Amino acid sequence: MNEELILTNARIVTETEVFTGSLHAMGGRIVALAKGPSNVPGAVDCAGDYVIPGLVELHTDNLEKHFTPRPGVRWHSRSACLSHDAQMAAAGITTVYDAVSLGDMIEGSARQANLEAMIHTLGEVADEGWFRAEHRLHLRCEVSSPNILDSFNGFVTDKRVGIVSLMDHTPGQRQFVHEDKYREYYMGKYGFNAEQMEAFTAKQQAASAQYSDPHRRAIAAACQGRELILATHDDATSDHVEEAAGLGIHFSEFPTTVAAAKESHQRGMKVLMGAPNLVRGGSHSGNVSALELAQKECLDVLSSDYVPSSLIHAAFMLHHGELGWDLPAALALVAKNPADVAGLADRGSIDVGKRADLVRVADTGDMPVVRVVWRQGVRVS
């Protein structure tokens, strides 16, 4: 933490401008910014590359893919965590909220079998100092699950938990208002035939009718008085948003309609969308596109969701694409704004006194290439 870092000949992106100059960090913090080159011996010549703040990820499912790289395969826990972490750092993400699912649509799923190992190993490896990025926890609570309260109460006291989100993936509403997309997703993922899919759907709808509302209220109430950020998930209607506001929700993840996103804004909730949605040009579930929300000025935060590299890619697409956002505004969606939502005032932007979480980026015009990553002034990738 006492290391000194000096970058020169860099296009430095602050909250308000881009300038060619130098940056000086000491003890993990930025201590000086200057326009023009530095002549200090040992300064790192960035050769005109951008230097941007380390990205802040509020919701990624990427860890699950490393624990279960193929159906029926459960990978070594520490190896899975370290591989996931390396992928985060290589994508320029220096702070990550690992989204772990409590409760599941599928009984006996690998997701639930891995849950305790994921949370335990994340904490163990972090405490040993092996991670490149800083890892925190985001508890994704499937409120239609019969046992969700027991699972939630078992993990909410973990010191790394910072975000709790309330989800309901029942077909016919929210993310899966288009039931054809629901069938396509679950039949493809779990190999259901038509009869099995019909029985599965009926079971999920019955569970949602019985459990979703009381579980949603109970979990939201349990988060009050704790230093936890609450998120709603896949809101589609004004009723969904009204309910979320009444529960004290801080931000809206992946709203599925323009109306829900706009009303979330009106009620003071920030709106998060998936960067893969923006990079692909639309939602894989057939819902509203992130680009449309950006056009309508109701997009605040991007999440890499299931593709780590999409986070920085999407920000540069907003800069180079049809909207032509200036780079500070585009990068705010992946750095400053998520840091603000999570209450992390010490990071998310390049300024004196902030953490020296920094990313050196070459802009190819087609997509950005992450060249070097520093966390608290120490190179991690």
DSSP one-letter string for 118-136: HHHHHHHHHHTT--SSEEE
Q: What is the spatial distance between Cα 328 and Cα 262, in angstroms, rounded to a whole number?
A: 23
The pLDDT value given to residue 189 = 63
**293-313 pLDDT, tens digit each:** 999 999 999 999 999 999 999
Confidence of residue 175 (pLDDT cuts 50, 70, 90): low
Q: Residue 114: left (phi > 0), alpha (psi -120 to 50), or beta? A: alpha
User: Do 15 and 66 reside in the same domain of the chain?
Assistant: no
Q: What is the spatial distance between Cα 246 and Cα 236, in angstroms, rounded to a whole number?
A: 16
User: Do 255 and 161 reside in the same domain of the chain?
Assistant: yes
User: Do 372 and 260 reside in the same domain of the chain?
Assistant: no
CB-based contacts of 87, cutoff 8 Å, min separation 6 = 62, 308
**312-346 pLDDT, tens digit each:** 999 999 999 999 999 999 999 999 999 999 999 99
User: Do 32 and 59 reside in the same domain of the chain?
Assistant: no
CB 53 within 8 A of CB 65: no
User: Do 33 and 97 reside in the same domain of the chain?
Assistant: no
Q: What is the spatial distance between Cα 343 and Cα 324, in angstroms, rounded to a whole number?
A: 29
**116-158 pLDDT, tens digit each:** 899 999 999 999 999 999 999 999 999 988 889 999 999 999 9
Confidence of residue 94 (pLDDT cuts 50, 70, 90): very high
Q: What is the spatial distance between Cα 7 and Cα 4, in angstroms, rounded to a whole number?
A: 10
The pLDDT value given to residue 172 = 54
User: Do 31 and 150 reside in the same domain of the chain?
Assistant: no
CB 103 within 8 A of CB 147: yes
Nearest to 157 by CA among 225, 212, 105, 249: 225
Lowest mean pLDDT among 20-29, 199-208, 317-326: 199-208
Residue type, 188: G
- Structural domain for 46, as ranges: 1-53+349-381
User: Do 281 and 137 reside in the same domain of the chain?
Assistant: yes
pTM across the whole model: 0.90
**Torsion on CA atoms 272, 273, 278, 279, rounded to nearest 10:** 100
**223-282 pLDDT, tens digit each:** 988 989 999 988 989 999 999 999 999 999 999 999 999 999 999 999 999 999 999 998
Lowest mean pLDDT among 15-19, 286-290, 335-339, 374-378: 286-290
User: Do 288 and 362 reside in the same domain of the chain?
Assistant: no
Confidence of residue 203 (pLDDT cuts 50, 70, 90): confident
CATH number, residue 336: 3.20.20.140
**Buried-state track 64-80, b at ≥16 Cβ within 10 A, e below 16:** bbbbbeeeeeebebeeb
User: Do 173 and 229 reside in the same domain of the chain?
Assistant: yes
User: Do 302 and 165 reside in the same domain of the chain?
Assistant: yes
Q: What is the spatial distance between Cα 75 and Cα 55, in angstroms, rounded to a whole number?
A: 27
User: Do 293 and 310 reside in the same domain of the chain?
Assistant: yes
Tokens 């000096």 correspond to 6
CATH number, residue 353: 2.30.40.10
The β-bridge relationship of strands 4-13 and 368-375 is unpaired
Q: Centre a 10 Å sphere on the Cβ of residue 297 and count the other Cβ atoms it contains.
A: 10
The C-alpha R_g of the chain, in whole angstroms, comes to 21
Q: What is the spatial distance between Cα 367 and Cα 316, in angstroms, rounded to a whole number?
A: 7
Tokens of 125: 């490896």
Rounded average pLDDT over 354-367: 95
**5-17 pLDDT, tens digit each:** 999 999 999 999 9
CB 68 within 8 A of CB 190: no
More confident residue, 227 or 99: 99
Domain count, the chain: 2
Tokens of 243: 């309910």
The phi and psi torsions of 133 (rounded to 5 degrees) equal: -90, 165
Nearest to 74 by CA among 135, 124, 116: 116
The pLDDT value given to residue 366 = 86
Sign of CA dihedral 306, 227, 237, 292: negative
User: Do 159 and 126 reside in the same domain of the chain?
Assistant: yes
DSSP one-letter string for 22-36: EEEEETTEEEEEEES
